[in-house]
């Protein structure tokens, strides 16, 4: 039971500190500094700062873990897509970039929604020779775009959708997230149950402070089939009454019940480490954007807290 609690707390229950202010001169850049800029971007768009932000992300290692960097890739993609006339110049300023971090740039271009994204990507082939195989896969349509990302294969896909929304406010990404909230009632698959609960919780948390998002969720109720409409109604009620902890509590209870049943998927504990990192990444952006002054747990993207959760559920 204790193992379950530690795990579920890391996945669904950790509150996150608001992103801190820009670093004073002489202090190293941190992930919180980057998140602060992301959090406030839509209120004050600064696309001209994207290249500096991307180089900063690379410098502090935010692209190292592909399962935990979806928020950043999605955000970069969103800014590029919203600035088609400046996109190529912004990308050029991101270089030089270590070969291992170039994956983030490639995916951001492919996810950007730019009508000429393939042409843009081809222009940077010579700067990324080590990534030619990945580039060719995207150019040949053998890798997904933002709106075709498989949401049931990697928790990072949800991060990517949220990152794009924080950059653009586009509801097409929200609609994809809405599409998986029905998984929060999955009684057989713990991965889908967790992903659905994650989607439901983050929608409620953001909608309680984002009126445009809340209005969109309300409009979607009538357009969805009954099971999804029911979940949306619960999200809307939680957002309007500021009772999102109810969603988290219900998710924890559902996960505990499914674990008691002992499906095979609950023994594949390595996935939980990835999911823990994903929720922390989402939580950093979501809670920071909402300005939760009452929270008291440090923001760790892909860091120690998810590692603790993973060790807590590993077989002894």
In a domain, 34, yes or no: no
Establish whether the linkage from the previous residue to 96 is cis, with ω within 30° of 0: yes
Are 155 and 177 members of one domain? no
Are 176 and 300 members of one domain? yes
| Mean pLDDT value across residues 75-92 | 97
Q: Closest Cα partner for 284 from 47, 71, 121?
A: 71
| The overall pTM is greater than 0.75 | yes
Q: How far apart are the first and last CA of the chain?
A: 14
In a domain, 31, yes or no: no
Confidence category of residue 308, pLDDT binned at 50, 70, 90: very low
3-state secondary structure of 25: coil
Do the beta carbons of residue 292 and residue 9 sit within 8 Å?
no
Are 51 and 122 members of one domain? yes
Do the beta carbons of residue 70 and residue 57 sit within 8 Å?
no
Domains in the chain, number: 2
Give the per-residue pLDDT at 244: 81
- Burial of 297: CB neighbours in 10 Å, binned 0-12, 13-18, 19+: middle
List, in order, residues 6 or more apart from 260 with CB less than 8 Å away.
none
Domain span at residue 12 reads 1-21+170-316
- The CA distance from 296 to 16, in Å, is 7
In a domain, 174, yes or no: yes
Are 143 and 253 members of one domain? no
Are 71 and 9 members of one domain? no
Q: What is the 3-state secondary structure (H, E, C) of 133-159?
A: HHHHHHHCCCCCCHHHCCCCCCCHHHH
Tokens of residue 149, six digits: 């990302």
- The CA distance from 174 to 233, in Å, is 15
Domain end position, chosen among 168, 187, 212: 168
Are 200 and 64 members of one domain? no
- Determine how many CB atoms are found less than 10 A away from the CB of residue 184: 23
In a domain, 36, yes or no: no
Are 299 and 183 members of one domain? yes
Pick 73 or 39 by higher pLDDT.
Answer: 73
Are 160 and 175 members of one domain? no
Domain end position, chosen among 119, 151, 168: 168
Give me the percent of the chain exceeding a pLDDT of 70: 74
Tokens of residue 302, six digits: 């892909």
Pick 309 or 163 by higher pLDDT.
Answer: 163
Per residue in 241-292, pLDDT (tens digit) is: 988 888 878 877 777 777 676 554 544 444 444 444 444 445 544 444 444 4
Give the per-residue pLDDT at 13: 33
Pick 29 or 109 by higher pLDDT.
Answer: 109
Per residue in 88-146, pLDDT (tens digit) is: 999 999 999 999 999 999 999 999 999 999 999 999 999 999 999 999 999 999 999 99
Segment among 17-26, 36-45, 46-55, 162-171 with least mean pLDDT: 17-26
Q: In the predicted model, is pLDDT for residue 311 greater than 90?
A: no
Domain end position, chosen among 168, 192, 214: 168
Are 158 and 209 members of one domain? no
Are 298 and 230 members of one domain? yes
In a domain, 51, yes or no: yes
In a domain, 188, yes or no: yes
Do the beta carbons of residue 10 and residue 279 sit within 8 Å?
yes
Are 210 and 311 members of one domain? yes
Pick 80 or 68 by higher pLDDT.
Answer: 80
């Amino acid at each position: 039971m204790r193992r379950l609690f530690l795990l579920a707390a890391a996945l669904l229950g950790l509150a996150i500190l608001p992103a801190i202010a820009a670093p004073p001169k002489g202090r190293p850049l941190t992930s919180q500094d980057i998140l602060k800029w992301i959090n406030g971007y839509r209120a004050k768009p600064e696309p001209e700062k994207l290249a500096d932000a991307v180089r900063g992300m690379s410098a502090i290692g935010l692209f190292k873990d592909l399962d935990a960097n979806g928020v950043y890739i999605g955000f970069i993609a969103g800014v590029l897509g919203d600035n088609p006339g400046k996109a190529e110049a912004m990308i050029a300023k991101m270089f030089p970039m270590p070969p291992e971090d170039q994956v983030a740039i490639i995916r951001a271009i492919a996810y950007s929604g730019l009508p000429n994204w393939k042409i843009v990507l081809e222009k940077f082939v010579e700067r990324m020779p080590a990534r030619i195989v990945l580039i060719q896969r995207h150019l040949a349509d053998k890798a997904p775009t933002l709106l075709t990302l498989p949401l049931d294969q990697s928790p990072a896909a949800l991060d990517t959708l949220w990152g794009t929304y924080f950059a653009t406010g586009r509801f097409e990404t929200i609609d994809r997230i809405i599409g998986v909230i029905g998984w929060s009632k999955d009684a057989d698959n713990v991965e889908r149950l967790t992903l659905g609960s994650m989607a439901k919780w983050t929608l409620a948390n953001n909608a309680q402070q984002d009126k445009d998002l809340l209005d969109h969720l309300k409009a979607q109720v009538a357009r969805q089939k009954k099971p999804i409409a029911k979940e949306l109604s619960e999200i809307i009620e939680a957002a309007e009454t500021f009772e999102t902890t109810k969603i988290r509590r219900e998710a924890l209870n559902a996960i505990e019940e499914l674990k008691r049943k002992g499906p095979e998927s609950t023994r594949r504990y390595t996935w939980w480490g990835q999911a823990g990192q994903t929720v922390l990444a989402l939580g950093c952006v979501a809670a920071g954007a909402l300005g939760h002054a009452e929270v008291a747990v440090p923001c760790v993207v892909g860091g120690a807290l998810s590692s603790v959760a993973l060790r807590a559920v590993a077989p002894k």
